[in-house]
Amino acid sequence: MSLADRFAKVRADFPILRRRFHGKELVYLDSAATTLKPEPVVKRIADYYLLESANVHRGAYALSDEATRNFEEARADVASLIHASPEEIVFVRNTTEAVNLAAHSWAEKNLSPGDHILITELEHHANIVPWQILAEKKGLKVVAARILDNGQVDEADLFAKLKEPVKLLAITGCSNALGTFTDLSKIIPRAHAAGVKVLVDAAQLISQKPVNVRELDVDFLVFSGHKLFGPTGIGVFYARHELLKDMPPWQGGGSMIAEVTLEKTTFNEAPFRFEAGTPHIEGTVGLHAAIRYFQALDFDDVRAWEHALLKKATDGLRGIPGIILYGDVPDKGAILSFNLRGAHHSDVGQILDQQGVAVRAGHHCTQPLMKRLGVPGTVRASFSIYNNDADVEAFLKAVSKARELLT
Ligand code: PLP
């Protein structure tokens, strides 16, 4: 079967793509914000509610045992997706909550006044703001490694900054605004050599490259289910077991305890110590179904397909006068960021919407990056497994129309 035939079958699993907006078939190019959900994932969630609904970890009956088994199998498969162990996987709401967990548990315990947290100019607000809040509270400092004009991290600057009193490097694996990758296999050993722990924001990376926490030797890694064809409200916090087992709880309540008296509580072991209250059970089984769906596709095929779309779209944009591309490097995720000279990104986004083309226009929750690039925002088109050549053609036609109308 050709790649086109294979991905035409994938597309058929996403009924939302048959909807029409403004009289036009939906062209969804905002997968970096959230991916669409295939039917098997939605069906799995419906099955949980219709046939399996029970709480986990506490029932004395078969239905609850089944729910617990399904919940823990989801944890095991999330672990195997990133080559971790199940006891290193904590379920959280999303990437944002995972970063906050790292900040308010590990970092709050292990960092002292005067210590620095190193980030980069590429980061999403989710990997900036939690560190600033903690810094304010504990007398720490957040410093940022610069980027080059092409949207890649300036490694010379980052390596120069990896020194006392930096204790943590919190860095994205793939920029959500530009699609540029960071070279983690080079950066992480340099950080460790300097005695610096590393947290990787894999919100975009997880769908763009295979992730192996053992090979990367990373300390913490975080991502969201909804950017990997899974439901919203479920995310993953990975921490190396040696670190997780000594991390203090950050939220108290049911399930995370060993024993409670009115005077004192002792806590459950990791990862349960970090999952207070009834978890997002349908979210975990939905994420499990999403991982199975994604793993049934060959990753090399996914890369080849998305990159052919990215290349066609990029080459097409280059042919339109007045286009300015950002993060325009050969090896990148399937994310395209641009502006039209003389036009505001929001106006471009609106005209694309009128043509049925859904893109993101704005700062992409990366205001410091936009400031560094000297723009208030960009237009971002991101491609995924359900897009096709016709989507790219509709996108290019819509951008040409925007140019006609706005410049
Ligand atoms: N980090 C990156 C690189 C992202 O792209 C996003 C979402 O756009 C986030 C963090 C935050 O993810 P969430 O909103 O799911 O917590």
Residue range 194-214: mean pLDDT, rounded: 98
Residue 346 has pLDDT above 90, yes or no: yes
The pLDDT of residue 312 is: 98
Cα(114) to centroid of ligand 1, in Å? 28
Residues 68 and 21 in one domain: no
pLDDT above 90: residue 111: yes
User: Is the beta carbon of 31 within 6 A of some atom in ligand 1?
Assistant: no
Q: What is the pLDDT of residue 58?
A: 80
Report the pLDDT value the prediction gives residue 59, as an integer from 0 to 100.
81
Q: pLDDT class for 230, splitting at 50, 70, 90?
A: very high
State residue 1's pLDDT score: 87
94 lines ligand 1 (CB under 6 A): yes
Task: Identify the residue whose C-alpha is closest to ligand 1 atom 5.
Answer: 176
- In a shared domain, residues 209 and 283: yes
Tell me which of 240, 260, 295 is where a domain ends: 295
* 35 in a structural domain: no
Q: Are residues 189 and 200 in the same domain?
A: yes
Report if residue 38 sits inside a domain: no
Other beta carbons within 10 angstroms of residue 299's beta carbon come to 13
Q: Is the pTM of this model over 0.95?
A: yes
Residues 125, 251: one domain?
Answer: yes
Same domain, 71 and 174: yes
Q: How many domains are there within the chain? A: 2
Indicate the pLDDT class of residue 37, thresholds 50, 70 and 90: very high
Known catalytic residue at 174: no
User: Which among 295, 321, 340 is the end of a domain?
Assistant: 295
Read off the amino acid at residue 81.
Answer: L
Q: Which of 211, 213, 365, 373 is catalytic?
A: 365
Q: Based on the domain organization, do 242 and 314 belong to the same domain?
A: no
CATH of the domain at 172: 3.40.640.10
pLDDT tens-digit map of 121-169: 999 999 999 999 999 999 999 999 999 999 999 999 999 999 999 999 9
The span from the CA of 103 to the CA of 321, in Å, is 45
Whole-number percent of the chain with pLDDT over 90: 99
Low-confidence winner among 53-67, 184-198, 351-365 (lowest mean pLDDT): 53-67
Computed over every residue of the chain, the mean pLDDT equals 97
Residue pair 92/119 in contact by the 8 Å Cβ criterion:
no
Whole-number percent of the chain with pLDDT over 70 = 100
**What CA–CA distance (Å, rounded) separates 322 from 245?**
54
What is residue 211's predicted lDDT score, i.e. its pLDDT? 98
Q: Please tell me if the CB atom of residue 388 comes closer than 6 angstroms to any atom of ligand 1.
A: no
Closest Cα partner for 269 from 229, 241, 293? 241
> Ligand 1 pocket: which of 97, 99, 124 to mutate (most atoms <8 Å of CB)?
124
Same domain, 84 and 205: yes
Task: State the Cα–Cα distance between residues 141 and 370, nearest whole angstrom.
Answer: 22
Residue 37 belongs to a domain = no
**Which one of 295, 322, 354 terminates a domain?**
295
Residue 12 structural domain = 3-30+298-406
Indicate if ligand 1 lies below 6 Å from the C-beta of 172. Answer: yes
Buried b (16+ CB within 10 A) or exposed e, 7-16: beebbebbee
34, 91, 176: residue to mutate for ligand 1 pocket, most atoms within 8 A of CB: 176
- Cα separations in angstroms, 202 against 20, 90, 184, 207, 211: 32, 15, 11, 9, 9
Q: What's the confidence (pLDDT) of residue 157?
A: 98
| pLDDT score for 225 | 98
